[in-house]
């Protein structure tokens, strides 16, 4: 018989809190490779003279015990002593409150378009298309001046494509500026071969409830993930909040106004895109957002948003060319009618182009890290504005939570389904009532119903397809990796 263990600390620390205190298409033009732009390469490797380590002026020491190896007891935490050139910082358990931290690199690059080759993703002498934002370095493609852009030829008007598609492919012969045919064969889609690499300025803002440590929210990792592409053209802002009456809320407005000042006239004025991440808790009964740390207070979504996104900040956001909001909180904010309605109404104000939330009642932020990094890269670097491409390869996230996306007055729920592990996106019990673990197998399947049965006791469970579901990429092999489907949210 398994030994019973004492209760352990939960990763989700939220709890009950006191109750409420598309553009017009451009005219058709011929795309030609005319302008030549020279950019700095991303790969910095170069030949260097070979030197024996003994020739550098110091002896090679004999192997020793690793300096990071030490001992700890229940009463004393071992911290290794600093050595020459090495410093150690012990992260405090208590998180400092009242933070407004800005981080950016001094290594700036141009933001006037494509800085990197769309094929090798490096810098160099780029042939720039006169219509789209693609650039091809002269190491990858050698073409005469005035030759049509390869991608504009293959998919005419691709820069005006719908959100979730590239457009129709052309089968006309590819001619250079002298009329000679250039062999151009691409049997598959070109979304990876010709992916763009934008370098326009972007500020990543993390707004988190006080008491949630910055390392608990994987937002700074997004900044670090984008920095090799954007260098000094990406900035990270870490801002915590406590909306309790008196000094805490006054301190919040003081720090928020300081940030607005930087965005209006300071170091962040040149930034034209923004991605905001709100990290907080929500109450299970009403879907209210926590307004104070330690479960001391909560308020409706609309009330919290009025304080977090003030009129001054909203005016700043209107000048941004791209702006997204991602809400990282437990799924009660989507499961309660009033909070869901508040999110819909907020989205209809078009303060943000897109608002994303997650339905998992016990959301684990660590499981979202890779998805958030990838979605930021696809949107802000590769300029892939559709949401559905982000779902490809995100099965592990789908097994944890569904995703709700608001874009203006439109709301869509994305759900991952697996024929056995998650039939029509519905969870199955890990343990059958007979005591068997992971014992369910497929018994029968139709387009609208899946039946599973236990291998041990043969107990059956039926799962019905939700009304109005639309499969995403239904031709893919779904039995092994599963498939995503979407449901349009109905207006109340």
Looking at residue 80, its pLDDT comes to 46
- Residue 400 pLDDT grade (very low, low, confident, very high; cuts 50, 70, 90): very high
Cβ 138 vs Cβ 145: under 8 Å: no
The HSE-up count of residue 202 (CA atoms within 13 Å, CB side) is: 25
Tokens 């089968």, residue located: 171
Looking at residue 137, its pLDDT comes to 82
Looking at residue 13, its pLDDT comes to 60
Looking at residue 69, its pLDDT comes to 37
Q: All domains of the chain, ordered by start, with CATH?
A: 112-196 (no CATH), 202-385 (3.40.50), 423-483 (no CATH)
* Cβ count within 10 A of residue 1: 3
- Residue 136 pLDDT grade (very low, low, confident, very high; cuts 50, 70, 90): confident
Number of H helices, E strands in the chain: 10, 18
Q: Is the pLDDT of residue 166 over 60?
A: no
Q: Is the pLDDT of residue 109 over 60?
A: yes
Looking at residue 193, its pLDDT comes to 61
Looking at residue 140, its pLDDT comes to 80
Cβ 425 vs Cβ 472: under 8 Å: no
Between 293 and 177, the more confident residue is 293
Percent with pLDDT over 70 in the chain: 70
Give the residue among 277, 259, 278, 282 at the shortest CA–CA distance from 269: 259
Looking at residue 490, its pLDDT comes to 81
Q: Is the pLDDT of residue 324 over 80?
A: yes
Looking at residue 413, its pLDDT comes to 97
Looking at residue 164, its pLDDT comes to 44
3-state DSSP call for residue 327? Answer: strand
Looking at residue 55, its pLDDT comes to 46
Cβ 204 vs Cβ 275: under 8 Å: yes
Between 110 and 42, the more confident residue is 110
- Alpha-carbon span 465 to 110, nearest angstrom: 50
Most confident of 13-27, 102-116, 189-203, 317-331: 317-331
Q: How far is CA 409 from CA 100, 318, 340, in A?
A: 33, 18, 13
43 burial type by CB count under 10 A (0-12 exposed, 13-18 middle, 19+ buried):
exposed
- Residue 175 pLDDT grade (very low, low, confident, very high; cuts 50, 70, 90): low
The helix (H) or strand (E) run that includes residue 411 is strand 410-417
Cβ 109 vs Cβ 115: under 8 Å: yes
Give the residue among 129, 125, 99, 135 at the shortest CA–CA distance from 214: 99
Looking at residue 79, its pLDDT comes to 44
- Alpha-carbon span 226 to 228, nearest angstrom: 6
Most confident of 10-24, 138-152, 456-470: 456-470
Looking at residue 104, its pLDDT comes to 86
**What is the overall mean pLDDT for the chain?**
79
Taking the model in full, what pTM does it have? Answer: 0.79
Least confident of 140-149, 175-184, 421-430: 175-184
- Residue 74 pLDDT grade (very low, low, confident, very high; cuts 50, 70, 90): very low
- Alpha-carbon span 283 to 361, nearest angstrom: 10
* Cβ count within 10 A of residue 372: 23
Between 416 and 475, the more confident residue is 416
Looking at residue 372, its pLDDT comes to 96
The first and second tokens of residue 390, run together, are 């982000």
- Alpha-carbon span 299 to 291, nearest angstrom: 6
The first and second tokens of residue 475, run together, are 């031709």
Report pLDDT digits (tens) over 441-451. Answer: 999 999 899 99
- Alpha-carbon span 288 to 304, nearest angstrom: 9
- Alpha-carbon span 394 to 396, nearest angstrom: 6
Tokens 């874009």, residue located: 407
Between 333 and 80, the more confident residue is 333
Report pLDDT digits (tens) over 426-437. Answer: 989 899 999 999
Cβ 281 vs Cβ 330: under 8 Å: yes
Give the residue among 440, 479, 476 at the shortest CA–CA distance from 456: 440
């Amino acid at each position: 018989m398994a030994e019973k263990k004492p209760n352990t600390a939960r990763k989700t620390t939220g709890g009950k809190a006191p109750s409420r205190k598309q553009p017009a298409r451009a005219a058709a033009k011929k795309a030609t490779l005319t302008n030549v732009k020279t950019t700095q390469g991303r790969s910095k490797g170069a030949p260097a003279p070979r030197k024996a380590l003994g020739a550098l002026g110091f002896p090679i020491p004999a192997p020793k015990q690793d300096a990071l190896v030490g001992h700890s007891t229940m009463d004393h935490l071992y911290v290794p002593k600093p050595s020459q050139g090495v410093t150690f910082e012990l992260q405090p358990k208590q998180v400092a409150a009242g933070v407004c931290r800005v981080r950016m690199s001094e290594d700036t690059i141009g933001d006037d378009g494509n800085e990197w080759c769309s094929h090798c993703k490096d810098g160099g002498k780029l042939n720039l298309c006169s219509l789209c934002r693609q650039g091809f370095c002269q190491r990858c493609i050698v073409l005469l001046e005035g030759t049509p852009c390869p991608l504009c030829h293959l998919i005419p008007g691709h820069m005006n494509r719908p959100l979730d598609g590239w457009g129709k492919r052309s089968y006309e012969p590819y001619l250079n500026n002298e009329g000679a045919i250039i062999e151009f064969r691409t049997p598959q889609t070109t979304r990876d071969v010709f992916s763009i690499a934008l370098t326009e300025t972007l500020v990543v803002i993390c707004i988190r409830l006080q008491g949630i440590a910055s390392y608990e929210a994987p937002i700074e990792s997004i900044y670090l993930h984008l920095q090799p592409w954007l260098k000094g053209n990406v900035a990270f802002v870490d801002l915590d909040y406590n909306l309790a009456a008196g000094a805490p809320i006054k301190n919040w407005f003081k720090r928020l106004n300081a940030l607005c000042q930087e965005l209006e006239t300071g170091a962040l004025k040149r930034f034209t895109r923004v991605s905001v991440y709100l990290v907080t808790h929500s109450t299970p009964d009403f879907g209210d957002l926590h307004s104070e740390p330690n479960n001391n207070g909560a308020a409706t979504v609309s009330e919290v948003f009025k304080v977090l996104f003030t009129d001054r900040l909203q005016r700043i956001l209107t000048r941004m060319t791209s702006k997204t909001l991602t809400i990282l909180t437990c799924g009660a904010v989507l499961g309660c009618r009033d909070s869901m309605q508040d999110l819909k109404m907020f989205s209809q104000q078009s303060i943000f182009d897109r608002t994303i939330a997650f339905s998992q009642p016990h959301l684990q932020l660590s499981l979202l890290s890779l998805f958030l990094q990838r979605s930021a890269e696809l949107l802000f670097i590769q300029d892939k504005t559709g949401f559905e491409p982000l779902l490809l390869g995100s099965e592990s996230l789908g097994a944890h939570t569904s995703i709700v996306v608001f874009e203006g007055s439109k709301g869509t729920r994305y759900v991952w389904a697996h024929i056995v592990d998650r039939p029509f996106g519905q969870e199955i019990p890990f343990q059958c009532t007979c005591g068997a673990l992971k014992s369910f197998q497929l018994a029968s399947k139709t387009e609208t119903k899946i039946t599973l049965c236990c291998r041990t006791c043969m107990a059956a469970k039926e799962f019905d397809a939700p009304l109005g579901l639309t499969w995403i990429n239904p031709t893919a092999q779904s039995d092994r990796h599963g498939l995503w489907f979407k449901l349009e949210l109905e207006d109340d």
